[in-house]
Structures are given as C-alpha cells and as structure tokens.
Amino acid sequence: MPLIFKRTSAIGVPIRLRGITPDGLRASSPADVARLEVPRGNGRVALGDVFRISGDVSEGRLEFEGDLGDIHEIGQGMTGGEIIVRGNAGRHAGAGMTGGAIHIHGDAGDWLGCEMKGGLIHVRGSAGDYVGAAYAGNRRGMTEGTVLIDGSAGSHVGASMRRGLIAIGGDCGEAAGLEMIAGSILVFGACGRAPGAGMRRGTIGMFGTAPVPLLPTFRPAGRFRPLFLRLILRELERLGLPPHEGLSDEEFLLYHGDLVGLGKGEVWCRGDGGTP
Amino acid sequence: MTTVNVEAGSAGSHVESDVVCVHCPCLCDDIDLHVEGGRIIEARNACAAGLARFLDVGPEDDPSCLIDGRPAGFEQAVERAVSILAAARSPVVLGLGGATCEAQRAAVALADRLGACLDASGNRGDDPSTTALQAVGEVTCTLGEIKNRADLVIVWGADPAVSHPRLFERHVLEPTGLFVPAGRAGRYCIVVDDTETETVQTAADEWIALRPGAHFEAIWSLRAMLRGVDLDPEAIERSTGVPLSRWLSLVDRMKTARYGVLLYGPDRLDNPGDPSVALAAHAFVRELNAHTRFVVLPLGGRENDHGASQVLAWQTGYPGAIHLAGGFPRYSPGEFTAGTLLGRGEADAAIVVSGNPNECLDDPARAGLARIPLIVLGSDGDKSRLTPAVMFRTPDLGSRTRGTVFRMDGVALPLRQVLPTKRTSTEDVLRAIGRRLTADAARPVREDRPCP
C-alpha cells in the first residue's frame, strides 16, 4: 500500500516538497510524516495541515491526490521508488532526480525534470517551460533518464541537455534543444522557433506534419528511414506514451547542425520539413 | 565640482555645475543647473527629457507619509508598514531602479530580514543581458573607450536616439577620440532593425531593414558566416529578409573594423520564451574578437537599474530574481521575477522601492499588485497610480538625494544633492522599518554597517 497524501486545504502561498520522497520517508508512519514541516513562503507548514496522510511507505510509493499546481519540487532529487500525482504538479517536479519514477496524471509546471540524472517522469497532461533543461547559470541540463509528456510542452525543452530522452506527444514551444550537448528530443506535434539552436550533438525528431522552422544554420543531409526509430517507438509505447501508428515506416528529411556549434547534431523532419 | 553664485547677494540663486542627470542610464554628468528660489529653472547641456525632469521637480508640499491615502506621521506609517510585513508570508521587494545604491543596499537588508522575494527590475528580473552574461560572458568596455577608439558602431534593435538621447553626442558617434581624431567622420554607424526608428533617421550611415522579429535568426546566421560556413542564400533571405551578400559585407566590415561596438536593446528584442537575442549577440561579439577588437553593450534599463543589479549581485551573489526565504539567497529568473510572482498571485504584500512598477509590469502582474497590501516609497507616488496602504514620499532622486548611481557601462558616479529636502530618504525609511521589525520580533539580526 502506498503512502497517500490527500490534499485537504488551500494554502495561498506555495509550499516546496523538497525531501519528501519515498527514500527520504522510509520507515516513517503517517503520523510522523504529518508532523514534518516543509517551507512555505518565509515560514514553514506541517504536512498534516495541507494533506490528510494515510497508508504506509513500505512499498516505496507515494501517492498525492488533488490539485498540486501550487506545490513545488515534488520528487526533487529522489533516488528511487515511485511518486504518483493524481492532479496537477507545480514547478521543479523531479528536478535533479537520480532514479525512480514520477507519474503525473495532470499538468506539470516549469522546470520539470531539470538537470535530472536518471529515472522516469511521465506527465499525462502538458508541461511548462525548461523541461529537462539546465538551471540559469549552469552548464548542463539532464544527463540521464527519460521524460514523457503526453500533451504539449513550453519553450526551451532540453536546453543544454547532456544525455537522456525527452518525448513530447503534442506540440513544443520555442528553442527546443537550445545549446544541447547530446541526448534525444522527440516531438510528435508542431514546434516553435529555432529548434536545436546551438546544438552540438544529439538528435531532435520533429514528427509533426507542419513545416519545421529550422534556422538557416542547419544543412540538409538527405532523406532516410531510421530503423532504430522502431525500437525507440516500441520502448516509448512500453513506457506508456500513446502509440503513433505508421511513423516507423515514414521517410524523414535529415538536417545536420547547428553549424555555429560543433555541427554534429541531427534533426529529423517528417514530410515537408526544413527551413521556413 | 563647483558652486557658482550667479547673482551676488541674491540668496538661493546659484548655478550647480557638473550635476548628474538620472533620466536614463547614460547618467550625463555635465549638467549645469540654475537654481532659483528653491527650484531648478534651467538645466544647461541636458537633453529635452532630462530638462523636463529637472524642471518638473516641485516643492515638497504634499504630506510625506500617507496611510490608506490619508496624511499620517512617520512613526505611524512605519508602524503600519511593519504590521503588514510581519503578517506577510510571501512578501516581495521590487522597484529599486529609482533609488541610490545605498538605498538599494538597505532594501536588500530588509528583504533578507523578511525572507522576501527581491527583484530589481519589475518584470525583467530575468534580464536577458544578464542571462547572456552568465551563459556566454560579455566582451565589454566603458563609454570612454568607445569614445576614444570605436570606428564602427552597430546599433541592433535599439533606438538610443529616443531612449538614450545624448549617447551619440557624448560617447559613441560625435566626439573626437584619442584614436578617432576625425570624430563623426571617422566612425561608421550601421543600424539593424525591423522598424525605421529615429536612430535610423538621424544617426545611421546605413540601415539594414530586417524581416520583422527576425533578430535571433539574423545574428545566429552572422555567427555561421563569421565561421566561414556556406549558407543557403535562399534560406537566409527567407528567414531574415535581407540578402546573404549584404550580410557577408556586414561581416567583412565588422572583421576589418579597428574597434567595433554592438549596441543592442534587450528590453525590446527579447520576450520570455523566445530564443534569446542577447545570448546570440554576446556569443557573436565574443567570436568576433578572433578577428578584431569588438565589444557589446546592452542598452537596457532606466535610471539606476544598473546600480540595482550591481548592489544585488554584490550583496546576494545574484543580480535579481532572488528569494531570501530560508535564510539564504536562491536565484531563479522567471520564477522569482517580481512580475511573474505577482502575476501568479504568489505574493501577499509588496514594498515598491522608488520605481514606478506600472511601467515595467505586465497586466497580470499589475492586477496581482492591486490585490495585495502595498508599501510604496517614491517621490512620484501619484504618477504610479497605485493605491498603497502606506506611502512614504521620498526626496527626488535627481536633485534632492545624495548617494551613488551606476552608469550603463558599470561606472559608479556620485549623486549630489542640489536642493534641500524635508523628507526622510529612501534608505532611512527602509532602515526604520527594518529596525522596528527587529524590535517587534526581538530577534537578533545582522546590523548593516553604513556604506562608506
């Protein structure tokens, strides 16, 4: 049985759940957890004042029920176990996590999985800006792990990411893969301005049918049918991303870039892709 | 600096020379003010906007403190401010640009005491030029260096003829410099913009008319050209609206300049979420230095905004978008930016320090500000159209305040008080609130030493 956090009260000022992870709460009873205090604005609040807490954490699972859109840093830095959010999640969910899984059955805020080093995040709704990106002033975004988003995502997806996979079922905003060092970003919908700007290595798959507004600093390198896309799609389906029929037989336009950087990155554009 | 009596024997009529004008971040320090009967009646050398600002300084007839719009004593006002702040769980300190560095420092100390969110520039705590500075660095210089050395001036997406009226006259284009003896004739000015600005009409030798909004694409392509990458002419013209050959000749001119400067307007070019033009500009100029000396200077901010980022970075390690809850500074541009914090309704009280937030906040942020109790410090409280719970009218920054301000190129200038004041300074109001908070909470806090 998981440890269940049922949201009972509105809080006005947001709270941060840093440290409230399956491994962090190991061997705590619901009453112990209810007494734990977390930061709220310039003060602190006991978890028991915000949630009704039941169950136990022996299985290494936490379940949050209710809208947690104003509750941030859910699963931040977690190393293992599972967190399920039955509602929206706030900012920085899963940031810096090294292992385990977070399932969000709603929307996620900005900085989802920022600088994560391992594990899985699956958002059934949409996510905000800076998914898997680097924090301001830092050099590297996510270095390992998988982020799946069934809906769409905001701007700067995977900015400066080093390794790992981000798959977005819907659209994504501007500057996806900005300055990415390596890793993979797959977008099944439309994408915003300047995808892959400054990318050094890595792969961006643009699987939407709309033209991709690539920068002129990407060079066409032919058409191809990537065989390994079948493996990736099968894996994504296994992880729970809704299937995309027929995509594995598609032919893609391949672009190399970004030529202002190392130029070893590749962008696959479906159908009528390419520069605007 | 000298004080000259123009009419011997007539008390209160004199000329103050070399006064600093705080209208824009150029902070022209060659203004001669003619003061008569406690008012400024002339400001020689000032631009039209600077002159208007000096002439606009009225007598301090209004009550210094207001509580809910009604005149009140200083102690009562401090008490009311303290009662609001003591109850606040998520206060925010914003504004700061219209205050001296000394007052900004007092604001940092108060924010630290409150565990508040602290942001310098209203909506733009995620200042794109700062983010670019962090990501790629900045090859920069002082305005004096531009005056003495620059023979190529590129103005990108900015209109300094309006926003920085005397920048060209004093520093960038007109003056003769040590290594530019011919003055204006020895310099070439290219404006790259998508609109025909006043700078295009009055200062440019050449205007490259960009496809609207294609600033990032253009600078990014220039970076590739500088590296000698062959680009598709059709793609370049489609994405930037300018033929490749024109860009190539611009790159050639930049590479062969003796000393080039790129001035850009981060406030106009960058929208949150878009790929950052500032980042592109800083990276481009850094790469240009493999060929010649080239510098980049953002033309952003107002009044002492630059001082605010200097003071915040000095005191907390970060230039803005700081949260001090938990007892240590956390930095998150876009999250702890005052505008976004207010827009999301996450603040429950605000101290507006000498700035008109309506000028730099967007609609959701203004609506957020209207919903919470406000403590406003400012000389132009009536113009800000805010309805503060507590209002402290403070001395005018440009004429009744003494302190330190920072020019756009990071040069600190002393601000002189040329008119007397009967109001309490911004710094003293903030310190009084902090002292009263401490006394009420009876908790020991770090006492700030006065600024030397």
Q: How far, in Å, are A67, A86, A127, A128, B122 from residue A64 at the CA level?
A: 9, 6, 18, 20, 35
pLDDT value of position A102: 98
Tell me: do B9 and B112 sit in the same domain.
no
Residue B389 lies in a domain: yes
Which residues fall within 8 angstroms of residue A238, CB to CB, at 6 or more apart? none
Q: Is there a contact between A42 and B115 if contact means CB atoms under 8 Å apart? A: yes
Average of pLDDT values for B137-146?
95
**Is the Cβ of B220 closer than 8 Å to some Cβ of chain A?**
yes
Last residue of a domain, one of B55, B79, B99: B55
Residue B307 lies in a domain: no
Domain of B421: which CATH number? Answer: 3.40.50.740
Structure tokens at B163: 């926003």
Nearest neighbour of A91 by CB, restricted to B91, B232, B335 = B335
Cα B387 off chain centre by: 24
B321 near B336, Cβ under 8 Å?
A: yes
Domains of chain A, with CATH numbers? Answer: 1-61 (no CATH), 66-270 (2.160.20.60)
Q: Please check the confidence at residue B10 and state whether its pLDDT lies above 70.
A: no
Residue B451 lies in a domain: no
Helix/strand/coil for B123: helix
Phi, psi of A249 (to 5 degrees): -95, -5
Last residue of a domain, one of B55, B78, B93: B55
Nearest neighbour of B273 by CB, restricted to A155, A259, A275 = A155
Most B-contacting residue of A44, A70, A217, A262 (CB-CB within 10 A), to test interface: A217
Average of pLDDT values for B378-385?
69
Q: Please check the confidence at residue B122 and state whether its pLDDT lies above 70.
A: no
pLDDT value of position A26: 84
DSSP-assigned letter for residue A249: G
Q: State the ipTM, two decimals.
A: 0.92
The chain B residue lying nearest A257, using CA atoms, is B224
* CA distance from start to end of chain B: 20
B117-126, B245-254, B320-329, B434-443 — which is least confidently predicted?
A: B117-126
pLDDT value of position B382: 56
Tell me: do B35 and B16 sit in the same domain.
yes
B42-56, B86-100, B356-370 — which is least confidently predicted?
A: B356-370
Q: Residues B429-440: pLDDT tens digits?
A: 999 999 999 888
3-state helix/strand/coil string of A54-92: EECCCCCEEEEECCECCEECCCCCCCCCEEEEECCECCC
The Cα diameter of chain A in Å comes to 62
- Residue A227 or B415, more confident: B415
Q: Is there a contact between A216 and B114 if contact means CB atoms under 8 Å apart? A: no
Cβ contacts of B441 on chain A, cutoff 8 Å: none
Cβ contacts of A175 on chain B, cutoff 8 Å: 273-275
Tell me: do B168 and B214 sit in the same domain.
yes
Q: Within 10 Å of residue A230's Cβ, how many Cβ atoms?
A: 13
Tell me: do B87 and B162 sit in the same domain.
no
pLDDT value of position A276: 46
Q: Is there a contact between B273 and A129 if contact means CB atoms under 8 Å apart? A: yes
**Is the Cβ of A10 closer than 8 Å to some Cβ of chain B?**
no
B262 near B297, Cβ under 8 Å?
A: yes
Q: Which of residues 163-222 of A touch B (CB under 8 A)?
A: 173-175, 178-179, 193-194, 197-198, 215-217, 219
Q: Is there a contact between B334 and A275 if contact means CB atoms under 8 Å apart? A: no
Strand B322-323 and strand B39-44: pairing? unpaired
pLDDT value of position B442: 62
* Angstroms from A194 CA to nearest CA on chain B: 7
Tell me: do B143 and B289 sit in the same domain.
yes
pLDDT in tens, chain A (276 residues): 899 999 998 888 899 998 899 988 887 899 999 999 999 999 999 999 999 999 998 889 999 999 999 999 999 999 999 999 999 999 999 999 999 999 999 999 999 999 999 999 999 999 999 999 999 889 999 999 999 999 999 999 999 999 999 999 999 999 999 999 999 999 999 999 999 999 999 999 999 988 899 999 999 999 988 888 999 999 999 999 988 888 888 889 999 989 998 999 999 998 665 554
Tell me: do B138 and B286 sit in the same domain.
yes
Tell me: do B271 and B390 sit in the same domain.
no
Tell me: do B247 and B237 sit in the same domain.
yes
Tell me: do B254 and B143 sit in the same domain.
yes
* Angstroms from B44 CA to nearest CA on chain A: 44
Cβ contacts of A38 on chain B, cutoff 8 Å: none
Average of pLDDT values for B41-66?
92
Among B340, B430, B345, smallest CA distance to B392 is for B430
Q: Please check the confidence at residue B311 and state whether its pLDDT lies above 60.
A: yes
The Cα–Cα gap between B178 and A211 comes to 53
Helix/strand/coil for A126: coil
B63-77, B166-180, B383-397 — which is least confidently predicted?
A: B383-397
Q: Is there a contact between A259 and B326 if contact means CB atoms under 8 Å apart? A: no
**Is the Cβ of B236 closer than 8 Å to some Cβ of chain A?**
yes
Which residues fall within 8 angstroms of residue B230, CB to CB, at 6 or more apart? none
Range of the domain at B211: 128-298
Tell me: do B140 and B266 sit in the same domain.
yes
Residue B235 lies in a domain: yes
**Is the Cβ of A129 closer than 8 Å to some Cβ of chain B?**
yes
- Bridge partners (DSSP) listed for residue A38: A45
Residue B231 lies in a domain: yes
Average of pLDDT values for B409-432?
95
- Residue B226: left if φ>0, alpha if ψ -120 to 50, beta else—which one? alpha
Q: Residues B195-246: pLDDT tens digits?
A: 999 999 999 999 999 999 999 999 999 999 999 999 999 999 999 999 999 9
> How many domains, chain B?
3
**Is the Cβ of A246 closer than 8 Å to some Cβ of chain B?**
no
Tell me: do B135 and B250 sit in the same domain.
yes
Q: How far, in Å, are B121, B144, B177 from residue B149 at the CA level?
A: 32, 9, 6
Tell me: do B288 and B258 sit in the same domain.
yes
Residue B445 lies in a domain: no
Cα B98 off chain centre by: 9
Q: How many contacts does A have with B, using Cβ atoms within 8 A?
A: 109
* Angstroms from A238 CA to nearest CA on chain B: 32
Q: Is there a contact between A39 and B326 if contact means CB atoms under 8 Å apart? A: yes
- Bridge partners (DSSP) listed for residue B94: B352
The dihedral of CA B42, B43, B45, B50: what is its sign? negative
Residue B430 lies in a domain: yes
The Cα–Cα gap between B395 and A74 comes to 46
What is chain B's alpha carbon radius of gyration, rounded to the nearest angstrom?
A: 23
- Residue B284 corresponds to which amino acid? F
Structure tokens at A207: 């699987």
Residue B341 lies in a domain: yes
* Angstroms from B198 CA to nearest CA on chain A: 29
Cα angle value B175/B176/B179 (rounded, 5°): 135
The Cα–Cα gap between B432 and B103 comes to 12
Cβ contacts of B346 on chain A, cutoff 8 Å: 13-14, 70
The Cα–Cα gap between B9 and B29 comes to 28
pLDDT value of position B4: 41
- Model confidence at B3, pLDDT cuts 50, 70, 90, reads very low
Helix/strand/coil for B15: strand
**Is the Cβ of B38 closer than 8 Å to some Cβ of chain A?**
no
* Residue found under tokens 């400001």: B43
Domain of B239: which CATH number? Answer: 3.40.228.10
Task: Please provide the average confidence, as pLDDT, over all residues in chain B.
Answer: 89
**Is the Cβ of B96 closer than 8 Å to some Cβ of chain A?**
no
The Cα–Cα gap between A91 and A70 comes to 8
